Amino acid sequence: MSSKVVQYILLCAVFLYGVVNALKIGSFNIQIFGDSKSKKPEVMEIIGKILVRYDIVLIMEIRDSKKKAIPRLLETVQSHSEGDVFDMIISERIGRTNSKEQYAFLYRKDRGIEVVDSFLYEDGSEVDKTDQFEREPFVVKFKASNAVPDVFSLIGIHVDPDIAVQEISALEDVIDYTMGRTNTANVVVLGDLNADCSYVSKSKMKKLAIRHRSDLYWPIGDDVDTTSGNSDCAYDRFIIRGKEFIKNIVEDSVQVFDYQKHFDLSRELTLKVSDHYPIELELQNLNSPSLGTSIVSHRLSVTGIFFTSVFAARCLSLF
């Protein structure tokens, strides 16, 4: 075997290691996840298979007043992994009405991921009706030792559809506050923003100031469908702040995960799981060959995309 072939194989190994070991971040509205849903084995099996794909994933619409659904969820996810590799941080039960919800971030502790700080955004008094959100955003600052950047803050939010325009607008303040409190420029809003269709028309979206801030990146477009039902709406979104975070998003990794197609599910079972699909992205790790290459430049360069795809295919054929 020639030295050039050996070098090529080694380069491929490094390339594929970087791709396989990218940090996958997701957001999933599981739709009224409580005691009843957590008792359905066929539904929990699919939820477990979905969540185990992620290194960090936000889970929304948890309604677990009996405090039984969340332990079952963690047990299910652990059963689909290589042992006790996941941990979870959960918010308080929040909401103005009697129908309280919780946010949860599930994360892989075996990948060097740890929680540095967490808090619910203080948005005013519910008693005085000066609060901005039906469900206050849940902020968690993470340290991921092998990711670039290795420290970032995630802001989980489930926007009230009845006042979606106001709540989405108020996220500007949440982003700025989070940057200061957590002392990091790399901040990501993720969740169900109800940012489309009857809740927020495309014309209203275009008028929102948060859409025109040059330091904020919305990688999921208004024409994307994040729902599993008959609607075609871009409800679930990422809003990303931080040049280092943005430039290290793995090329073409921002997407909606269609679990119906992936797991070949019936329509009935798909809708039992949720009326939403998860959204996801990947961050490059320290060994990624294209570390620091901007996703924006990737999208503008057809040649770059073609080269990466062809190179990846050739590498895979060697192993």
Are residues 247 and 164 located together in one domain of the fold? yes
Distance of alpha carbon 53 from alpha carbon 48, whole angstroms: 9
For residues 99-126, give the mean pLDDT: 94
Least reliable range by pLDDT among 91-95, 230-234, 305-309: 305-309
Percent of the chain with pLDDT over 90: 77
Distance of alpha carbon 234 from alpha carbon 222, whole angstroms: 6
Are residues 298 and 154 located together in one domain of the fold? no
Report the number of distinct structural domains present in the chain. 2
Compute how many other C-beta atoms are within 10 angstroms of the C-beta atom of residue 193. Answer: 27
pLDDT tens digits, residue range 28-50? 999 999 999 999 999 999 999 99
Pairing of strands 279-283, 102-108: unpaired
pLDDT band, very low/low/confident/very high, at 292 (cuts 50, 70, 90):
low
Are residues 317 and 227 located together in one domain of the fold? no
pLDDT tens digits, residue range 18-27? 445 899 999 9
Angle at 20 between CA 17 and CA 24, to 5 degrees: 135
* CATH code (residue 53): 3.60.10.10
Are residues 237 and 261 located together in one domain of the fold? yes
* Length reported for the chain: 319
Are residues 73 and 107 located together in one domain of the fold? yes
Are residues 243 and 233 located together in one domain of the fold? yes
Helix (H) or strand (E) holding 196: none
Whether the per-residue pLDDT at 301 is higher than 50: the answer is: no
Are residues 9 and 97 located together in one domain of the fold? no
| pLDDT averaged over every residue in the chain | 88
Are residues 208 and 63 located together in one domain of the fold? yes
Question: What single-letter DSSP state applies at residue 301?
Answer: -
**What is the residue whose two structure tokens read 């941080």?**
89
69, 37 in Cβ contact below 8 A? yes
pLDDT band, very low/low/confident/very high, at 131 (cuts 50, 70, 90):
confident
> Which residues span the domain enclosing 312?
1-21+287-319
Are residues 272 and 298 located together in one domain of the fold? no
Are residues 119 and 180 located together in one domain of the fold? yes
For residues 169-189, give the mean pLDDT: 98
Catalytic residue annotation:
101, 158
Are residues 212 and 93 located together in one domain of the fold? yes
Are residues 176 and 269 located together in one domain of the fold? yes
> How far, in Å, are 43, 108, 261, 292 from residue 38 at the CA level?
8, 21, 23, 41
The pLDDT, as a whole number, for residue 47 is: 98
The pLDDT, as a whole number, for residue 17 is: 45
pLDDT tens digits, residue range 266-286? 999 999 999 999 999 999 997
